[in-house]
Amino acid sequence: MQIGIVGLPFSGKSTLFQAITGTIIDAHALARGDVHHGMVKVPDPRLDALAVIYRPKKTVHATIEFVDVVGLKKGESGSTQFTTNFFNNVKNNDALVQVVRAFANDAVPHPDGTVKVVRDVGTLETEFLLADLAIVETRIDRLKKQLGKAGDAQAKLELPVLEKCHRMLEQEKPLRDVEFTKEEFAILKTYQLLTLKPMLIAVNCDESQVNESSRLVEQVAAGKSGARTRAVAFFGKIDLEMSELSAEEARAFMGEYGISEPAVDTLIREAYALLGLQSFLTAGEDECRAWTIRRGMNAQESAGVIHSDFFNKFIRAEVVNFTDFVAHGGSFTKAREAGCWRLEGKEYVVRDGDIMEIRHS
Ligand SMILES: Nc1nc2c(ncn2[C@@H]2O[C@H](COP(=O)(O)OP(=O)(O)O)[C@@H](O)[C@H]2O)c(=O)[nH]1
Ligand SMILES: [Mg+2]
């Protein structure tokens, strides 16, 4: 699973990438605009709470991969150029974070001269819609030629799905906001359509915009009601500075700004959820850990994420929800005595934040 950070030049993509990966990219690499990959810890206050109770040797967060996507250039005429290279870099991602600039900084040029969040979201969206339209039209033409010939079953299956996409794209509707059946999704998967990817719009605000940020988020989110589009704010400059501080210094820093956690922490969790991912937790003195599963995975499949033996030899899962677990001192026994412990079978659909212990043969 990989999330691509996209957006216009100088919107703050590399700033965000550095803040969430905790790496510093040197100025030359930034100027060259290299593609950067990084594994990012999914911040999880529940895991932190378990670590306080257990004081384990190791605390392991869930991780997701982020990519600082490049390929967008400022063109000769001053406008933004959407290169083939850019679309190829975008295509490989499972979800996208679109960084939109809201911060004012005279030292940083805006490719279109002024800072306007809604316009910029539209600029990228239009390019993605056109790119998808081109792919869909080419494919429809090709499939139509196969109709009536031997072995045209696949074409008959794919054509209505692509025509549905075509209608939507012509109405400027991104495919992520369209309802598709499982079968339709399976067909569309191979095309790597850009507007089908879940999208998190990330509005990059200045420290002076702390109070304004939720209004900006509402503006960019207006009219985007689909479950696969979300919007959040972050504070590129502050978030990057904060990522370089110790935990204690960061707390003091946040106190000054009156914030309870770095905005990028929320952003990472939103991106994780947008991918359809969630975590269950295991607790012990050796290790407290968040394990990544897809929403809807059952207890046996989830056990298999820990170890394939746990899948093959699964008997039952002991489950306590996070709040109950902590309320009972992080003890399965005490939770059991209090009646909030459950023994679940294979088919139990695991919930986000379940604390589990797998019983296997
Ligand atoms: N004032 C201010 N400057 C920022 C912010 N985020 C990024 N910048 C600056 O904007 C410039 C472009 O940022 P960068 O992350 O390299 O943009 P990219 O081209 O999208 O990767 C850099 O000089 C950053 O320091 C922010 O939130 N506030
Ligand atoms: Mg960059």
Cα 91 to ligand 2 centre (Å): 18
Residue 15 Cβ contacting ligand 1 at under 6 Å: yes
Residue 30 Cβ contacting ligand 1 at under 6 Å: yes
Sign of dihedral through CA atoms 241, 246, 251, 252?
negative
Q: What is the pLDDT of residue 114?
A: 87
Q: Do residues 30 and 14 make contact, with C-beta atoms less than 8 angstroms apart? A: yes
d(CA 11, CA 8): 6
Q: What is the pLDDT of residue 226?
A: 81
Residue 9 Cβ contacting ligand 1 at under 6 Å: yes
Q: Assign residue 234 a region (left: φ > 0; alpha: ψ between -120 and 50; beta: otherwise).
A: beta
Sign of dihedral through CA atoms 324, 326, 329, 330?
positive
Q: What is the pLDDT of residue 76?
A: 55
d(CA 7, CA 297): 33
Q: What is the pLDDT of residue 73?
A: 66
Sign of dihedral through CA atoms 225, 227, 228, 230?
positive
d(CA 315, CA 115): 58
Residue type, 304: G
Which atom of ligand 1 is closest in space to residue 9's alpha carbon? 19
Residues forming a β-bridge with 319: 342, 356
Sign of dihedral through CA atoms 135, 139, 140, 141?
positive
Nearest Cα to Cα of residue 253 among 240, 268, 266, 267 = 240
Residue 327 Cβ contacting ligand 1 at under 6 Å: no
Query: pLDDT digit of tens for each residue in the chain (361 aa)?
Result: 899 999 998 999 999 999 999 988 888 887 777 789 999 999 999 999 999 999 999 999 999 999 998 766 665 555 666 777 788 889 989 999 999 999 988 888 888 888 899 999 999 999 999 999 999 999 999 999 998 888 889 899 999 999 999 999 999 999 999 999 999 999 999 899 999 999 999 999 998 898 899 999 999 998 887 889 999 999 999 999 999 999 899 889 888 877 888 999 999 999 999 999 999 999 999 999 999 999 999 999 999 999 999 999 999 999 999 999 999 999 999 999 999 999 999 999 999 999 999 999 9
Residues forming a β-bridge with 64: 40
CA 183 to centroid of chain Cα atoms: 23
Full DSSP string of 99-138: EEE----TTS--TTSS--HHHHHHHHHHHHHHHHHHHHHH
Which atom of ligand 1 is closest in space to residue 17's alpha carbon? 15
Cα 80 to ligand 1 centre (Å): 17
Q: Do residues 332 and 320 make contact, with C-beta atoms less than 8 angstroms apart? A: yes
